[in-house]
Amino acid sequence: MYLTRNRFTKKCIQFITVIGCLFFAASVWATNSINGIRVWPAPENTRIVFDVKNKPDYKYFTLQNPHRLVVDFANTKNTVALEKLAEGDPRIKLFRGSQSKSKARLVLELNQSYQLTVFPLAPAGQYGNRLVIDLYDKNRNSVVMDKPTANLGDIVIGIDAGHGGEDPGSIGGKGTYEKRVTLAIAKKLQTLINNEKGMKAVLIRSGDYYVDINRRTSLARQKNVDFFVSIHADAFHTPGPSGASVWVVTKKRADSELARWLANREEKSELLGGGGGVIKHTADSHLALALADMSKEHSLGVSFGVANNVIRELKKITKMHKSTPQNGNFGVLKSSDIPSILVETGFISNHKEEKNLTWPKHQQRLANAIHLGIKNHFMDHPLTGSYFASIGYKKHKVRSGESLSVLAKRYNISMNKLKAINNLKSNSLQIGQTLKIPRTG
């Protein structure tokens, strides 16, 4: 009996030892895990984001015939189903993978060869450790955006919906993503502008994907945008602050960008406005600086002009956090050659404003205000050769609280002249009445 019990005890010890070794081995090689894979197709690239438990230890290589990208994650276990990840993506045919004790291998079967960027990201905001892969079309500089065909004399407005793709922007208390709010307002603004005779709109981001900050302005430049508006929603670490605001680039940031371009003016003269040809070829650096500085100052002036008009319209439909244009060091506003503003449509961190920002009717009001602000500036100061410049008068629809004297003062015209132009017999005006206003330059 004793020998039998002793043998049984030894067998138990051996069994427990084997199981323990297996668990120990598993804990050694599976020190990391892939917990999520997100695929973001865009017009000129696809971004793949691997959400990993710890900082990734990885290697990658490409294969031809057929085109494949292979990524090896050392000491990692993949927990993500791969079968449907490539559905709807124009660049990736299929995800497949294999697992061993030493690594998790992910294979991306591709439609063709792409420019490749691979980099890790440390935890930030709602995200933990990530490995990011960007597949760029090799002919991406010739990508056609969703700009309508512009007629001669159209003022082209670039509309930038902030954030996108794996970058949600700020997130409200109810889980509202800034990227969705900005795209919804941008699309409504696009429709308004395209319905306005003499104006056309270009959407920098037309779907849920990320566009690099520097790429946003270069895309606008490729499409000969006359003005650039970037739409965002503000946030704070407490729900108290509220209201909209409008921002323009700081003079320091514009000067810094201008200096960088001037240092390389042989290649970058097209970024310096109408005097670009002279700037490129002149041996007189003082002349080059003067022409470029004039372009920058004109751009800043237009930016402030539009900002003031947009604020005037926003005040009618929402609370303002700041009642005058603010200076900001935003990367998306850095271009010296393109007048631009950034509109913070409200605080997504404020419970009431988060609700408003998801309400289509309020989104439409915000789009209307931005549209009118931009339109009013270019009606007052039309671009040479534009349709607006061909109109001798602009139109004004009378609103509640406006009188003939108020409008005469606003448009710097005498009451008698305003009455004569509109064949008015008295000083009385009716709400909704349309007046012709002569241009002031």
Tell me which of 297 and 22 has the higher pLDDT: 297
Measured CA angle at 272 (ends 267, 274), to 5 deg: 115
Q: Report the percentage of the chain scoring pLDDT > 90.
A: 51
Q: Residue 24: enclosing H or E segment and its boundaries? A: helix 2-29
Q: What's the pLDDT tens digit per position in 240-254?
A: 999 999 988 765 554
Residue 293: which residues within 8 A CB-CB, separation 6 or more? 258
Tens-digit pLDDT profile for residues 272-286: 343 344 334 444 444
Residue 177, pLDDT > 80, answer yes
Q: How far apart are CA 92 and CA 87, in angstroms?
A: 8
Model confidence at 267: pLDDT above 50: no
**Exposure b/e, 361-379, CB count within 10 A at least 16 = b:** ebbbbbbbbbbbbbbbbbb
Residue 158 in contact with residue 189, Cβ under 8 Å?
Answer: no
Is residue 268 pLDDT above 50, yes or no?
no
* Integer Cα distance of 209 and 42 in angstroms: 6
pLDDT digits (tens, 9 = 90+) for 147-176: 444 455 899 999 999 999 988 999 999 999
Bin 267: left if φ > 0, else alpha if -120 < ψ < 50, else beta: alpha
Bridge-based pairing of strands 32-41 and 45-52 is antiparallel
